[in-house]
Amino acid sequence: MSYFKNKALGLASTGLRWTDNNMERFANLESLPEPLNCRQGCHYCCYNQPMVTPPEALFIGHHVEQTFSDKDQKELIVKIKKILKTTNGKKPDEIAMMRHDLPCIFLQDGMCMVYKVRPAVCRTCCSTSADHCKSIFESRNHRARLRCYEQVREILKTVHLHLVDRCRKMGCQSDFLYIAEAI
């Protein structure tokens, strides 16, 4: 494995562990008015194209290489091509409005295929009502606001800034990418 890839995998792993630790601390705050309702298998927010930093993309890609069967890798490529064709030339706003028809490439039978290595944006989901997420999804009212804690954005922003900054310092690509493009 190249020096840079190894370094990027270490960066992502540390950043994602830091994210989990901070999310756990946040979820356990006694002052939290309502508990978080997010859990594995709840997937209305997975009808989206999450944005990832390059180290997160490498981390997920490495996991795919190591653990997906040939059949699963081929199916993934088909999904990626379909998403790229549908989103080609579209602005981020337009893509967000099409989210009903754009499930994440790793969503399969309502479950995340890369849950252990999912990116920071997915680890910082923080809704207090899965029912509310469901009703927004089913009504296709994609401009409606989720019932989320704004403070969690700081956790996501901090880990993203750190990963992007380290990429820049290493002289590597540092732009955010949609997960389908990145993989």
List of residues contacting ligand SF4 (CB under 6 A): 37-38, 42, 44-46, 48, 50, 104, 106-107, 112, 114, 118, 122, 125, 127, 130, 133
CB within 8 A of 14, min separation 6: which ones? Answer: none
> How remote is the C-alpha of 33 from its chain's centroid?
26
Residue closer to ligand SF4 by CB (options 2, 66) is 66
Q: How far is the CB of 43 from ligand SF4 (least distance, A)?
A: 6
Which residues share a beta bridge with 178?
51
CB within 8 A of 122, min separation 6: which ones? Answer: 45, 46, 50, 112
CB atoms within 10 A of CB 151: 11
Token code pair at residue 136: 């927004």
Residue closer to ligand SF4 by CB (options 2, 141) is 141
Residue closer to ligand SF4 by CB (options 47, 170) is 47
Q: How far is the CB of 141 from ligand SF4 (least distance, A)?
A: 14
Q: How far is the CB of 5 from ligand SF4 (least distance, A)?
A: 20
Residue closer to ligand SF4 by CB (options 112, 170) is 112
Q: How far is the CB of 127 from ligand SF4 (least distance, A)?
A: 4
In angstroms and rounded to an integer, the radius of gyration of the C-alpha atoms of the chain is 17
